[in-house]
Amino acid sequence: MRTVTVREFYHNAGLVDGLADGRQLVVTANGKPRFVVSKGATPRMTHKLAEERAIGDPKGVKFDGTAFLTSLKK
């Protein structure tokens, strides 16, 4: 756990980017802890998650993007 002042935190936002996953950064003001910042794990895109976020009917006609782009070039 690392401790920084509010001023340091405000002027150097890269402190959060430099944190490892699961690590914490305690921000203090006047020597007292004010809040804790933690960096979570980076979410990974899985096949299941991609299908859930996809637009359209999954049972419908599949869209061939390569063929579409080829037709635009002609």
Q: What is the pLDDT of residues 4-35, one digit of tens each?
A: 999 999 998 788 888 887 788 999 999 999 99
Does residue 53 have a pLDDT over 80? Answer: no
Q: Which residues contact 4 (CB under 8 A, 6 or more apart)?
A: 15, 25, 26, 27, 28
Cα 39 from chain centroid (whole Å): 10
Domain that includes residue 9, residue range: 2-38
For the entire predicted model, the pTM comes to 0.52
Residue 33 lies in a domain: yes
Number of domains in the chain: 1
Residue 71 lies in a domain: no
Residue 34 lies in a domain: yes
CB 24 within 8 A of CB 1: yes
